[in-house]
C-alpha cells in the first residue's frame, strides 16, 4: 500500500504540473494575443502567395536602386506581428519588412485559429529536445512560406508602391523562426537561397544544425542574439564547438544580460532599444554598406551598451 500511495502521489504531482503548464501557457497566450492585437492595429496586412503577410513600409526617400528588403519568420505558435517593435525600427531605418504567418501561428491576425488545448493537440513536427530526429524535411513548409512570399514580391515591381532592390535581401527570425532563417541562409544546404545576403537569428532553435546541418555553408554575414536567462537555446550557440564556432564568417554574437526566450517579442519592453540598435546596425553594415561611420563596430567594443553582458565577433 505505501508503494501504491507513492505511485498515486507521483501521478497526482505530474497532473498538477501539467495543469500548471497548460494554465501558464493559456495566460501567456492571452497576454501575447492582447499585445499582438495592439501591434496589429497599425500594421498593414496583405495576402501574398496565399499567405497573410504583415508589412512595414520604409521611411525616407527611396534609394535609386530601391529599398532593401528584410523577411521575418516568427517563433513556434507566435505570429507575424509578435516582434512588431523590431519590424518598426527596421522600417524606420529604411527597410521594407515582410513577415508571413506560418501554419502554427496563433496570435495577432492568426489568433482566431487558437483554441484551448491547441498547444497539446498540435505538437511540433519533431520534439524540440531531440535534435537527432530533425532533418531538412522538418518544417520545410516554413521555407516554402518564405520562398513563396519572396518570389511573389520580387516579381511584383514595385510591391505595394515600394520599389525593392533585389540584390539587398536579409532575413531574421526568432526561435523556430531563427531555425527557418538559418536554414534558408544555408545551414540546411538544400534550403539555401542565394538571394539572401545577411541573417539575424534571435534566440534561434539551432541544435539540429550541429548534428545534421552545415553552418559553414551559409557563407553570408550572421548575427546571433541570445540571453543569459535563455537556457534552452543560447547555450547551444555560445558553447565551445557550438553554433557560433561552426558558423561561417563574418559572424557576431550579442548576449543580453538577464534576457529570457521571449525578450525578442512584444511581451518584454526592457531590451527593445538595444535589440533594435544591434539589429539595425548589423543590416545597415551588410545590406547598406555603412562602414563610415560604423555603429556596428563601435557596439562590438567596450564599453558595451547597458543590458549587454557579452559580445563576440569574427570578421576575417
How much is the pTM?
0.88
| 16: pLDDT strictly greater than 90 | no
User: Domains in the chain, start-ordered, CATH in brackets?
Assistant: 2-314 (3.40.50.1820)
Strand partners, 44: 55
pLDDT score recorded for residue 111: 80
8 A C-beta contact, residue 123 and residue 168: no
Task: Tell which wins on pLDDT, 107 or 42.
Answer: 107
pLDDT, tens digit, 9 for 90 and up, residues 191-231: 999 999 999 999 999 999 999 999 999 999 999 999 999 99
- Report the alpha-carbon distance of residue 224 to residue 155 in Å, rounded: 30
How many Å from the N-terminal Cα to the C-terminal Cα in the chain?
A: 68
Beta pairing, strands 51-56 & 96-100: antiparallel
The percent of residues above 90 in pLDDT, for the chain, comes to 81
8 A C-beta contact, residue 153 and residue 98: yes
Q: Which stretch of DSSP H or E encloses residue 147?
A: helix 140-155
* Contact residues for 304 (Cβ-Cβ < 8 A; gap 6+): 310, 311
8 A C-beta contact, residue 225 and residue 196: no
Quote the cell numbers at residue 71: 523577411
pLDDT, tens digit, 9 for 90 and up, residues 128-181: 999 999 999 999 999 999 999 999 999 998 999 999 999 999 999 999 999 999
Task: Please compute, for residue 27, the number of CA atoms within 13 A of its CA located in the half-sphere on the CB side.
Answer: 6
- Report the alpha-carbon distance of residue 98 to residue 160 in Å, rounded: 11
pLDDT score recorded for residue 50: 96
Amino acid at each position: 500500500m505505501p508503494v501504491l500511495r507513492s505511485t498515486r502521489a507521483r501521478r497526482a504531482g505530474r497532473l498538477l504540473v501539467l495543469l500548471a503548464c497548460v494554465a501558464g501557457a493559456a495566460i501567456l497566450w492571452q497576454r501575447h494575443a492582447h499585445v499582438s492585437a495592439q501591434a496589429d492595429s497599425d500594421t498593414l496586412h496583405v495576402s501574398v502567395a496565399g499567405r497573410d503577410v504583415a508589412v512595414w513600409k520604409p521611411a525616407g526617400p527611396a534609394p535609386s536602386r530601391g529599398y532593401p528588403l528584410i523577411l521575418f519568420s516568427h517563433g513556434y505558435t507566435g505570429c507575424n506581428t509578435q516582434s512588431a517593435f523590431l519590424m518598426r525600427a527596421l522600417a524606420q531605418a529604411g527597410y521594407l519588412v515582410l513577415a508571413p504567418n506560418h501554419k502554427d501561428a496563433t496570435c495577432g491576425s492568426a489568433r482566431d485559429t487558437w483554441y484551448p488545448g491547441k498547444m497539446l493537440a498540435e505538437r511540433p513536427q519533431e520534439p524540440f529536445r531531440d535534435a537527432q530526429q530533425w532533418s531538412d524535411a522538418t518544417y520545410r513548409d516554413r521555407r516554402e512560406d518564405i520562398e513563396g512570399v519572396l518570389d511573389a514580391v520580387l516579381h511584383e515591381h514595385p510591391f505595394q508602391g515600394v520599389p525593392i532592390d533585389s540584390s539587398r535581401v536579409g532575413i531574421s527570425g526568432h526561435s523556430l523562426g531563427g531555425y527557418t532563417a538559418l536554414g534558408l541562409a544555408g545551414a540546411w544546404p538544400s534550403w539555401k537561397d542565394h538571394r539572401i545576403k545577411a541573417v539575424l537569428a534571435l534566440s534561434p532553435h539551432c541544435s539540429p544544425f550541429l548534428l545534421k546541418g552545415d553552418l559553414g555553408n551559409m557563407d553570408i554575414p550572421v548575427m546571433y542574439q541570445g540571453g543569459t536567462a535563455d537556457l534552452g537555446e543560447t547555450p547551444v550557440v555560445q558553447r565551445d564547438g557550438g553554433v557560433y564556432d561552426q558558423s561561417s564568417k563574418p559572424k557576431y554574437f550579442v548576449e543580453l544580460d538577464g534576457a529570457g526566450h521571449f525578450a525578442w517579442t512584444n511581451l518584454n519592453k526592457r531590451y527593445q532599444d538595444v535589440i533594435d540598435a544591434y539589429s539595425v546596425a548589423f543590416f545597415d553594415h551588410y545590406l547598406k554598406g555603412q562602414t563610415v561611420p560604423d555603429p556596428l563596430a563601435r557596439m562590438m567594443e567596450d564599453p558595451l551598451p547597458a543590458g549587454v553582458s557579452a559580445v563576440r565577433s569574427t570578421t576575417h
